[in-house]
Amino acid sequence: MSLHIQFLIEQPQEILDRLYMQNGPCCAGCDWWLHYNSLVGECRKSAPVPGSQRMAMLGMSGTSLAPEAGHIMTPREHHCGDFKDEFDWDTIPVNYLRRIGRQHKRTTP
């Protein structure tokens, strides 16, 4: 397995944080969104929907396995009016913040 593929599998949160820092508000940085991998997740803000509707925003229909009812699945770069980021980024190590491209503005007492 290549190092790139291994990184994608083992570090999806860092990939999502980088995308959020580069692109601004999107599912990848939203508090409501729970990622399945570095590309797709589900929006926990919305009410559960029938399985046939869960993957519509991914452009999928007629899958070989019928999904169960649950939350809407969205791509990481999607943006909607319910975006929320209340995470305290000051709790994250400075070296990680630099890696993902976040401007570090920690204040000192």
Q: Is 76 domain-assigned?
A: yes
Residue pair 37/58 in contact by the 8 Å Cβ criterion = no
pLDDT of residue 109: 42
Residue numbers of the domain that contains 31: 3-100
The tens digit of pLDDT for each residue in 37-63 reads 999 999 999 899 999 899 999 998 777
pLDDT of residue 103: 78
pLDDT of residue 5: 55
pLDDT of residue 8: 52
Of all helices (H) and strands (E), which one includes residue 35? strand 33-35
Q: Is 56 domain-assigned?
A: yes
Query: How far is it, in rounded angstroms, from Cα 78 to Cα 40?
Result: 10
Instruction: Give every residue of the chain whose pLDDT is below 70, as ranges.
Output: 1-10, 104-109
Q: Is 81 domain-assigned?
A: yes
Tally of domains in the chain: 1
Distances (CA, A) of 21 to 11, 25, 60, 89, 101: 16, 8, 28, 12, 6
Q: What is the pTM of this model?
A: 0.80
Q: Is 105 domain-assigned?
A: no
Q: Is 60 domain-assigned?
A: yes
